[in-house]
Amino acid sequence: MGRRRRHHKTSGAVKLNVTAMLDMAFQLLAFFILTFRPAPIEGHLSLNMPPPIPQTNVQSTQTVGTEGNSAPNLHALHLFVTATESGDVAQIRLESNVIAAGRLTPATVAGIGRRIAPLFAAGNVLYDRIQIEVDRDLRYEELLKLVDVCAQQKLPDGKPLGKVSFVEMQR
């Protein structure tokens, strides 16, 4: 009798009751499925945005960066952006020159980039940042298109400009 019982114990496989574990696993799974929210595909435009500097005399930039001046006094390039009531771009001025008017399209933005780029090319570096004076009603979406084209400008050493300031335009 005793011998038979011992025989049964050694030959029978040990069976774990996995039902409780499965219950818990399903609960965890339900939690994760219900709380799952895929991360949005967001990007960032990284900028160094120091506080804006008071507008200097733009005409004086003609004298800086001349030969023999090893540490030229760099200035901010000024862009002036006016807006319509609906928040679209009305006009963009580069210093005193109108460089775009009307709603921003990819072609307009590219054109602005072409106008700005030579100012940062080697030998012509008078500026180390772009200061955008913006109409208070301009929509952020439109502003970001301009900021993007400004941030893409390359300094003579190949580094991106990345230094942009905003000022609210006085009415």
Task: By CB under 8 A, name the binding residues for another protein.
Answer: 18-19, 21-22, 25-26, 28-29, 32-33, 35-51, 83, 87, 134-141, 143-145, 147-148, 152, 166, 168
The 3-state DSSP class for residue 104 equals: coil
Q: Write down the least CB distance from residue 132 to another protein, Å.
A: 10
Structure tokens at 13: 């496989």
Which is closer to another protein, CB of 26 or CB of 124?
26
Q: Write down the least CB distance from residue 141 to another protein, Å.
A: 4
Q: Write down the least CB distance from residue 37 to another protein, Å.
A: 6
Centre a 10 Å sphere on the Cβ of residue 108 and count the other Cβ atoms it contains. Answer: 18
Q: Write down the least CB distance from residue 4 to another protein, Å.
A: 15
Yes or no: say if 116 and 51 are a contact pair by the CB < 8 Å rule: no
Label residue 44 exposed, middle or buried (CB < 10 Å: 0-12, 13-18, 19+): exposed
Which is closer to another protein, CB of 61 or CB of 163?
163
Q: Identify the H or E element spanning 148.
A: helix 140-151
Which is closer to another protein, CB of 123 or CB of 140?
140
Which is closer to another protein, CB of 18 or CB of 107?
18
Beta strand 164-168 with 75-83 is: unpaired
Q: Write down the least CB distance from residue 107 to another protein, Å.
A: 15
d(CA 168, CA 171): 9
Which is closer to another protein, CB of 31 or CB of 122?
31
